[in-house]
């Protein structure tokens, strides 16, 4: 198996949607699903092209109320290329007799290709192949090469190459009852000898998108006079009639440009799309420069492991999709990093807390991307301030789901496809997303040392989030502590107490501990500022010492519930919930990852049981070391002992259905050192999240970027034991049994390091970057690594 290539060697209609998502090509500016050029949207295929941050809102009446949703808009389909031999049918995989088939996603080059040899009803055999890429360097360009070879016949053939703006958003079945027509066509037409264009506009956000496509015949002859343009409103295509000759390939290049009205340094999207199209090089030229860009990226971003099977290939697939979702082309686009990539319409392209799992990989390689993604949040600080005021709170309340403006985009009702019922969606009560943002700001700084960013943007965000938590914390006479009431933790199976009218839970341990971490970090962050900037910032946001004193008080007295001795309760009274019949439900349903849907369809609710969709308390052990937790719990006046980690992990692992793909990442991380065998099993599940579609049919709607990036970070930080503590870069490798060696480059505080670890040695070489010595530690050994030098450590029994 080539660890750079994802291969499919037969056609499977049932898997086509999944493959389209996994074979999506993108460049951080736009992305196109790996759909076949001849395909229309159907229950098998779903062509989709999405602009990073290309949202639009539509209203629909659902269950007696009008709901408004902001969606990532499916843009005109530029892939369309269809053909029909004379007297036959338009080529269609569903009806053709397939003789040979191979589809390859070459991640090294960022190229998707497919070759099909088929036989038609007239027994004509034809081979049709395409290669396609979305240019990583020239962000407005994509190209497709198509060759058609008549194997045992000669004759006429008709070809269509088009742009289709009549498409709607219909990629997610459970959203299909909602309005879905986001585009209106403003203009369509032709340019030059071989060009067609389409200009569309989104109905509410007024985003204009222009696509221009040239279809160039580079081998073969068009029958005289038989090249023309065929049009319907919103749909335009070039039709060509050719004389095909047995064994002689006809070769076409379809060169596409895409611009939007939000682009920088353009005059008007359509003009620029046509202009670039006219001066562009051909397919081969473009391919060369595209591959060079990917070479440069892989040089920095690859993680090379020696392991059996397909682990290396899957790891690269995860890195590949991450780099296609955010790249240099995304900088300053004012987009966040979407939980499902720009690969499909699930979760509407929204931004969640999944950044928490995604940024560590970027921080250690291309931190300028994290910076840009954090600025997406900073620009929405005013909206978050308004949201806090409206909720009667202080500071900034960032939304659980964020889209264009930073208002709360979480849907009010969601459909349970199992029961067919629309249900209230309370997931916006996940206030912990704010802590994730503060955590991300701090860790970006910790890895890069970018004080300028902190002084200009970062610390202001952390302070406003600290304010939010301080205002959420209310004093309870009963417990003699501060409490946070009426929230949801990461575990979305619990949104209220059994039988309660009002949604929300009290003292979610994860939220409360994170709140304390944010407050402590806010106080620490203030010390990073120069006296002048500190004074200015305090003055601008009106922060005085009485307020920071209250923060100290909240830190000292925050409540964390416990039960059964030292089990941290997921929330207050968690222990009063019933235990769940795991065996019975597994026997009855098999796959019980989405217990919420199963129970609701039965007229029951997970709120009654000690079941969780995903890691919640365990998140604490994922984000913090035992020493850090000790500090946090001590600051609150609780005792924390490292042995609690194991007990709590066991307790909650036994009660989790892993209904979110993020859960496997977290569980395998927290078990990595105590139970390597189990950790590896769980890690395999995380690796398989998308490639095997472990949720049984969600990946075709979009990849799970948090799980993808989180699994890469498992190898990066967890396996290397990589941490930065008090100015020292620490390594403590513990590589999974099934991996023999790991090598990668990481960037830390401006310096690149090559790191190679095997079972018995660890070598770190300092490469280009800041010309300064760096302190490196392994176990008790500390070294000062001079620029350009290497250091090795012997590892035993790892």
Residues found near ligand BGC in the complex (CB under 6 A): 339, 347, 352-354, 490, 492, 613-614, 660, 662, 706
CA 669, CA 190: separation in Å to the nearest integer?
A: 55
Is residue 50 within 8 A of residue 72, CB to CB? The reply is yes
d(CA 683, CA 490): 20
Rg (CA), the chain: 27
Tokens 């008790």 — which residue?
A: 780
Side-by-side strand order, sheet with 739-748: 303-307, 739-748, 751-758, 761-769, 790-794
* Nearest CB to ligand BGC, comparing residues 117 and 610: 610
Q: How far is the CB of 353 from ligand BGC (least distance, A)?
A: 5
Residue among 38 and 425 whose Cβ is closer to ligand BGC: 425
Residue 735: CB minimum distance to ligand BGC, A: 28
Judge whether 614 and 689 are in contact, CB under 8 Å. no
* CA distances to 197, 436, 735 from 547, in Å: 58, 22, 46
Cα angle vertex 139, ends 135, 142, to 5°? 40
Nearer to ligand BGC, 702 or 733 (CB): 702
Closest listed residue to residue 461, CA positions, set 576, 355, 566, 561: 355
Least distance (Å) from ligand BGC to the CB of residue 267? 38
For ligand BGC, give the closer residue by CB, 77 or 656: 656
Strand segments (E) across 542-587: 562-563, 567-568
Nearest residue to 561 via CA among 625, 617, 477, 500: 617
| Helix locations, 215-354, DSSP H | 269-279, 283-301, 311-325
Calpha distance 484→512 (Å, rounded): 7
Q: How far apart are CA 728 and CA 706, in angstroms?
A: 28
* Rounded-to-integer distance, Cα 663 and Cα 642, Å: 22
Nearer to ligand BGC, 394 or 404 (CB): 404
Please say whether the beta carbons of 510 and 519 come within 8 A.
no
Nearer to ligand BGC, 257 or 699 (CB): 699
Cβ proximity to ligand BGC: between 384 and 722 the closer is 384
CB of 492 to ligand BGC, least distance (A): 5
Q: Which is nearer to ligand BGC, 340 or 371 (CB)?
A: 340
CA distance 665 to 318: 13
The nearest distance, CB 756 to ligand BGC, in angstroms, is 33
Q: Which one from 492, 547, 688, 782 is the annotated catalytic residue?
A: 492
Please give the C-alpha separations between residue 768 and each of 606, 728, 749, 754, 763, in angstroms, as whole numbers.
53, 19, 12, 10, 16
Token pair for 781? 């050994």
Report, in Å, the least distance between residue 580 CB and ligand BGC. 18
CB of 209 to ligand BGC, least distance (A): 26
- What lies within 8 Å, CB to CB, of 428 at 6+ separation is 399, 400, 401, 408, 410
**Most distant pair of Cα atoms in the chain: their distance:** 90
Task: State the nearest-atom distance from the C-beta of 322 to ligand BGC, in Å.
Answer: 14
Q: What count of other Cβ atoms lies within 10 Å of the Cβ of residue 58?
A: 19
Pick between residue 104 and residue 354 the one whose CB is nearest to ligand BGC.
354
Q: Which is nearer to ligand BGC, 28 or 706 (CB)?
A: 706
**Rounded to the nearest whole angstrom, what is the least distance from the CB of residue 339 to ligand BGC in the complex?**
3
Closest CA to 238 of 294, 159, 168: 159
Reply yes or no on whether 477 is catalytic: no
Cα–Cα distance measured from residue 144 to residue 239, given in angstroms and rounded to the nearest whole number: 17
Task: Kindly state the smallest distance separating residue 376's Cβ from ligand BGC, in Å.
Answer: 16
Whose CA is closest to 487, among 429, 447, 532, 564? 429
DSSP 236-271: EEEEEEEEE-TT--EEEEEEEEEEETT-SS-S-HHH
Residue with token string 């209106």: 184
Catalytic residues, by residue number, are: 492
């Amino acid at each position: 198996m080539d660890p750079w290539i994802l291969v499919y060697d037969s056609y499977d209609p049932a898997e086509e949607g999944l493959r389209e998502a996994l074979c999506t090509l993108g460049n951080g500016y736009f992305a196109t699903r790996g759909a076949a050029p001849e395909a229309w949207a159907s229950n098998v295929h779903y062509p989709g092209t999405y602009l990073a941050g290309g949202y639009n809102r539509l209203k629909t009446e659902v269950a007696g109320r009008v709901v408004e949703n902001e969606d990532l808009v499916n843009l005109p389909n530029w892939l369309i290329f269809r053909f029909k031999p004379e007297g036959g049918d338009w080529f269609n995989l569903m009806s053709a007799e397939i003789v040979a088939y191979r589809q390859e996603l070459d991640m090294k080059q960022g190229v998707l290709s497919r070759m099909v040899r088929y036989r038609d009803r007239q027994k004509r055999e034809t081979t049709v192949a395409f290669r396609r890429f979305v240019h990583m360097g020239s962000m407005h360009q994509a190209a497709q090469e198509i060759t058609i070879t008549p194997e045992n016949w000669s004759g006429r053939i008709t070809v269509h190459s088009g742009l289709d703006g009549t498409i709607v958003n219909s990629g997610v079945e459970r959203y299909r009852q909602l309005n879905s027509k986001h585009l209106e066509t403003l203009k369509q037409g032709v340019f030059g000898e071989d060009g067609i264009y389409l200009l569309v506009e989104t109905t509410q956000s007024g985003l204009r998108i222009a696509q221009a496509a040239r279809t160039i015949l580079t081998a073969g002859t068009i029958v005289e006079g038989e090249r023309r343009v065929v049009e319907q409103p919103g749909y335009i295509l070039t039709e060509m009639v050719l004389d095909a000759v047995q064994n002689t390939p006809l070769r076409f290049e379809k060169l596409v440009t895409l611009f939007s009205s939000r682009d920088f340094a353009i005059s008007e999207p359509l003009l620029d799309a046509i202009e670039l199209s006219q001066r562009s090089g051909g397919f081969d030229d473009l391919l060369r420069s595209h591959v060079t860009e990917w070479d440069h990226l892989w040089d920095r971003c690859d993680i090379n492991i020696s392991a059996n099977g397909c682990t290396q290939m899957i790891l690269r697939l995860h890195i590949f999709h991450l780099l296609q979702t955010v790249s240099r082309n995304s900088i300053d686009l004012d987009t966040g990093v979407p939980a499902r990539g720009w690969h499909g319409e699930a979760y509407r392209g929204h931004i969640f807390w999944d950044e928490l799992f995604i940024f560590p990989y970027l921080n250690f390689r291309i931190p300028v991307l994290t910076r840009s993604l954090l600025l997406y949040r900073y620009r929405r600080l005013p909206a978050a301030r308004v949201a806090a005021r409206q909720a009667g709170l202080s500071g900034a309340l960032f939304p659980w789901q964020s889209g264009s403006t930073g208002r709360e985009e979480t849907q009010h009702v969601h459909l349970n496809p199992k029961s067919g019922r629309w249900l209230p969606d309370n997931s916006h009560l996940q206030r912990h997303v704010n802590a994730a943002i503060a955590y991300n700001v701090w860790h970006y700084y910790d890895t890069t040392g970018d004080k300028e960013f902190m002084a200009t943007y970062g610390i202001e965000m952390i302070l406003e989030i600290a304010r939010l938590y301080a205002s959420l914390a209310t004093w309870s006479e009963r417990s003699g502590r501060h409490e946070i009431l009426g929230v949801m933790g990461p575990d979305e199976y619990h949104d209220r107490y059994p039988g309660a009218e009002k949604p929300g839970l009290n003292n979610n341990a994860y939220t409360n501990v994170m709140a304390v971490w944010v407050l402590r970090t806010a106080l620490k962050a203030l010390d990073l500022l120069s006296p002048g900037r500190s004074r200015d910032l305090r003055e601008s946001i009106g922060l005085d010492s009485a307020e920071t004193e209250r923060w100290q008080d909240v830190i000292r007295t925050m409540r964390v519930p416990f039960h059964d001795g030292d089990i941290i309760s997921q929330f207050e009274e968690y222990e009063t919930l019933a235990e769940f019949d795991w065996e019975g439900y597994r026997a009855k349903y098999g796959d019980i990852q989405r217990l919420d849907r199963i129970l609701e369809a039965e007229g029951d609710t997970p709120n009654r049981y000690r079941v969780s969709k995903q890691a919640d308390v365990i998140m604490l052990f994922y984000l913090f070391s035992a020493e850090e937790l000790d500090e946090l719990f001590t600051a609150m006046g609780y005792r924390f002992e490292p042995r609690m980690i194991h007990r709590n992990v066991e307790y909650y692992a036994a009660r989790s259905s892993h209904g979110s793909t993020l859960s496997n990442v977290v569980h395998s991380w927290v078990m990595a050192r105590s139970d390597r065998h189990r950790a590896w099993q769980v890690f395999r599940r995380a690796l398989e999240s998308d490639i095997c579609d472990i949720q049984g049919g969600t990946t075709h709607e979009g990849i799970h970027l948090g799980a993808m990036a989180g699994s890469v970070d498992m190898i990066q930080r967890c396996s290397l034991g990589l941490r930065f503590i008090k100015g020292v870069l620490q390594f403590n490798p513990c590589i999974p049994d099934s991996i023999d060696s790991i090598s990668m480059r990481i960037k830390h505080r401006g310096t690149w390091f090559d790191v190679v670890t095997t079972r018995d040695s660890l070598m770190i070489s300092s490469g280009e970057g800041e010309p300064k010595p760096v302190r490196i530690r392994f176990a008790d050994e500390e070294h000062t690594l001079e620029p350009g030098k290497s250091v090795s450590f012997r590892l035993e029994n790892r």
